Structure 1
């Protein structure tokens, strides 16, 4: 069954306080976005990668690819004003009529092989798979009367990749208000499909602030040697 991944990289770097978009910031010597893409290539080199970048960032990305000798095959799509539009634009580049598709945040470079494998396997069995983790902090919810405790066992932290049969995600993005959804699972659920949660990996953090990048660097340093440190890896098939 053909596999696709739409990697959405729409960061601007504002919360990072950086002069370049966060997906291009260095992690172990190379842009973190490259590590994100490599994770899916390591899982299955035949996975078709679609990278969605904001308008105007393609030139910089191509320059970085040349600088770092990054030749992993991928197709570029232009991002939109919202995440929903960006995903839809990526989806429109896929001409296949069957298969499964994952949607993944470009700023999650430490997704594990097990998380990717489980998501794709569930999608290939017809399920709509979303990785999630339980919470360890106590929670309180704010309402009109102040705050009250919320049972944390009823809540999960949602991650990506979110994996679906290709036809399901296409049907979901036929919704007239698709551009207002910030989570693909919500849109798929709105289209009438059930969501299957599975356990993600704790290292699969979304890098949005300087602390996250520092933490990712520490976590990457403890991963299997070679996975994040190969500077000149080639991907020619």
Structure 2
């Protein structure tokens, strides 16, 4: 089975309030993005790694790789004006006619290797595998009239990445015009009328977007 992973890192770090995008900030002595790539490589060095970043960041990333002696093999692909377009560019870089591809946020460096492995297994069997975690807090639904209603939290899940798919199907799914309801790769897949298969994610697999997330990331590194 041909396995690929598209690591998408197109953020500008607006909420982080940093002069450089969050994916290049250091935790544990190296940029966040390097930690993310390492998880996939250490699980299976045969996974083809495709890193999608803004074209204007490419020289900076190459400088970071030199600075930190980062030698994990990966292919650089220029991102697009949206996440949808960036993922599509990553998919277009895969010449294989069959296989399985994981799509993962570059700023989720704490994904469990077992979750990645399970996503490849389940996607090869069901065509898709979406990592999710249950909600811990109570939730309420807001209405346009300013009212709110209790919701049964056991019927909801928080969606993470990786979101892993049969390569042929996900390429077909992305061969459409981008729509506003494409909030993640699973919604693009569902647009074809296909049901997505859910798998258990891991709670530590946070998406680093704020200074508080950076503090928690440092804690997780010290804990590991």
Give the shorter-chain TM-score range: over 0.9
Asked if 1:70 is matched to 2:70, the reply is yes
C-alpha offsets along residues 177-223 of structure 1, whole Å, 9 cap, x if unaligned? 36862300001011121111111001100000000111011011111
For 1:26 and 1:111, locate their aligned partners in 2 and report how far apart those are by CA, in whole Å: 17
- Listed as ranges, the gaps of 5+ residues in structure 2 are none
Number of the residue aligned with 1:58:
58
8 Å contact 1:84–1:179 — kept in the other structure?
Answer: no
8 Å contact 2:10–2:53 — kept in the other structure?
Answer: yes
Structure 1 stretches of 4+ moved >6 Å:
none
For 1:126 and 1:156, locate their aligned partners in 2 and report how far apart those are by CA, in whole Å: 19
Equivalence map 1:123-142=2 (5 Å): 123-142=123-142
Number of the residue aligned with 1:233:
none
> SS at the partner of 1:160?
strand
For 1:144 and 1:13, locate their aligned partners in 2 and report how far apart those are by CA, in whole Å: 31
- Listed as ranges, the gaps of 5+ residues in structure 1 are 224-237
8 Å contact 1:83–1:179 — kept in the other structure?
Answer: no
TM-score by length of 2: 0.97
For 2:219 and 2:74, locate their aligned partners in 1 and report how far apart those are by CA, in whole Å: 28
For 1:160 and 1:194, locate their aligned partners in 2 and report how far apart those are by CA, in whole Å: 17
Number of the residue aligned with 2:79:
79
For 2:39 and 2:14, locate their aligned partners in 1 and report how far apart those are by CA, in whole Å: 26
Equivalence map 1:154-193=2 (5 Å): 154-177=155-178, 181-193=182-194
TM-score by length of 1: 0.92
For 2:28 and 2:114, locate their aligned partners in 1 and report how far apart those are by CA, in whole Å: 22
> Structure 1's 136 and 26: CA in aligned 2 closer, same or farther, altered over 3 A?
same
Number of the residue aligned with 1:220:
221
8 Å contact 2:126–2:197 — kept in the other structure?
Answer: no
